[in-house]
Amino acid sequence: MSIDTRRAPSPPPAPAGGRITLRQNLRDSLVVAKRNLLRMLRIPETVVFGLIQPIMFVVLFAYVFGGSISIPGAGLSASAYREFLMGGIFAQTVTFATAGAAAGIAEDMQKGIIDRFRSLPMARGAVLTGRTFADLAQTAVILVVLAVVAFLVGWRIHDGPLSALAAFGLLLLLGYAFTWIGALIGLSVRTPEAATSGGLVWLFPLTFISVAFVPSENMPGWLQPVAEWNPFSATVLAVRDLFGNLPPDYRAPDVWPMQHPALASVLWSVLIIAIFRTLAVRKYQRATG
């Protein structure tokens, strides 16, 4: 073993004032994202389990509940329910990335690698942003596989590729926003195990008290506004609309987010990112020693 220190490069000089530019922030985040994607490729179990649950939900809901949930404008129709269902499943699936982000960040925080990152001249938020980028890529892959499964059970895109792309865009944005909630959870718990359950458990009420699986009209009156204002519902309805999965006679509930679901979906997602990214980055910076 020998080292030749003369040949070693010195780091480029720091920008004046040591401020980290947006460009460096993005570059560092992409470096960390690459690291996380490599990890995902080498631990493919996580991606596989990420796929099993939504596929199971598609099959269970399509065939078990299929004929027994009435859709406004279509009544009790199994095929109409399958079309209706998929927007909900898609949206639910992207939010499950929360658990992955939470567990991944909790694991990193426990290991020596976080000291390495924190002692490097890198953008502060890049460890978290990189993780959320990697989760976004994973979510995109899962969405593609899920779309194929949905196609097999009879789901179709009716409104052309542009609308469909817009729908997938809304889904990815929602999923990305939720990974920042996951990041905050991952920083707040002590173990990756706690992060996984902490990342999942609240998603069930959130996704079920929404228009994802059952139209809000079928719920008790006091629950309807909760479901209709649920950030998650806006995306579900917007996606259904963009895929053309709503029955022709469907009339959305008369509340603002249900009347303007695409806009509401974007606003909710941006709001979630703004709040949770700020909180998570602050918490990361304070998580010292």
Partner 1 sequence: MPGAIYAEGLVKTFGDVRALDGVDFDVPEGTVLGLLGPNGAGKTTAVRVLTTLLRADSGRAEVAGLDVATQPNEVRRAIGLSGQFAAVDDYLTGRENLQMVGQLYQLPAREAKARAGDLLERFNLADAGDRTARTYSGGMRRRLDLAASLVVSPPVMFMDEPTTGLDPHNRQALWELIKELVAGGTTLLLTTQYLEEADHLADTIAVVDHGQVIARGTSDELKTRSGGDVIELVVHDRERIPEAQDILRRLGEGEPGLVAHTRRLTVPATGGAKLLAEVIRELDGRAIEIDDIGLRRPTLDDVFISLTGHSAEFDELNGAGNGNGGRDGGRDDGREKPPRGPDPGRPDPGSPGPGRTGEGPVRDDGREGGAA
Which residues bind to partner 1, rule: CB under 8 A?
Answer: 1-12, 14, 18, 20, 24, 27-28, 31-32, 34-35, 38-39, 42-43, 110-122, 126, 288-289
Measured CA to CA, the distance from residue 288 to residue 40 in angstroms comes to 27
Which amino acid does the sequence have at 191? T
Nearer to partner 1, 18 or 161 (CB): 18
Q: Which two tokens stand for residue 194?
A: 């706690």
Minimum Å gap between C-beta 112 and partner 1 is 4
| Phi, psi (deg, nearest 5) at residue 75 | 70, -150
Minimum Å gap between C-beta 4 and partner 1 is 7
Nearer to partner 1, 27 or 260 (CB): 27
Nearer to partner 1, 133 or 268 (CB): 133
Minimum Å gap between C-beta 55 and partner 1 is 26
Q: Is 127:284 a contact under the CB 8 Å cutoff?
A: yes
Minimum Å gap between C-beta 20 and partner 1 is 7
Nearer to partner 1, 42 or 161 (CB): 42
Shortest CA distance to 39 belongs to which of 117, 118, 108?
Answer: 108
Minimum Å gap between C-beta 145 and partner 1 is 23
Helix axes 97-110, 192-200, angle to 10 degrees: 160
Measured CA to CA, the distance from residue 203 to residue 223 in angstroms comes to 17
Nearer to partner 1, 28 or 241 (CB): 28
Measured CA to CA, the distance from residue 188 to residue 289 in angstroms comes to 14
